[in-house]
Amino acid sequence: MDIPQNRYPVDEKKTEELAKCYSRIIELLGEDVEREGLLKTPSRVAKAMQFLTQGYHIDPQSVIKSAMFREDYRQMVIVKDIDFYSMCEHHMLPFFGKAHVAYIPNHYITGLSKVARVVDIFSRRLQIQERLTTQIKNCIQDTLNPLGVMVVIEAQHMCMQMRGVEKQHSITTTSDFTGIFNQAKTREEFISLIKNK
């Protein structure tokens, strides 16, 4: 099921169950869940978490296939600086940044917005950055069967900035690639193009 960009499903039964859990969490943290400012917080958090994890309910391959076209273009296609927000599965704190995706078509291309949607779908799950990078790469490779795919993600992790080592300016970079991107020259061309602002 493809969900429009600015809408997300809210399951009322799930919202009610989640809200009970968040009420208990708030109490265990030492707050008064009956305090005016917190009365609707459990329900709000329950709805927010459904939005932040909506990627579990969308098939990313079907998104690509919905705008898949035959084309003989054989040069690099790059969609860079794709903003994303995700939730670290270890602490359920946000990590966010930019994804850069390239592929070299092999008879088929997809709409450029669909590449960004694939990033959204996989980021709207409990994630780690390494897996997110690989899932995006695999989805595009498996669906379009291009000559190669490369994904680079640069992100800041709140679990490192707000807690733990508290390193506010650290950036984590991950990359993964297939096919023709195994050649250093092709990888270097991609890196050069995404760094060229």
Residues known to be catalytic: 88-91, 129, 157, 159
Name the token pair of 83: 């903003």
- CA-based torsion, 183, 188, 191, 192: positive or negative: negative
Q: Which two tokens stand for residue 108?
A: 């088929």
| Cα–Cα distance for residue pair 41/21, rounded to 1 Å | 12
* Euclidean distance between CA atoms 124 and 53, whole angstroms: 5
Query: Per the structure block, which two tokens stand in for 103?
Result: 């592929």
CA pair distance 27, 98, nearest whole angstrom: 36
Which residues lie below 8 Å from residue 86, measured CB to CB, with a gap of 6+?
A: 94, 95, 96, 123, 124, 125, 127, 129, 132, 155
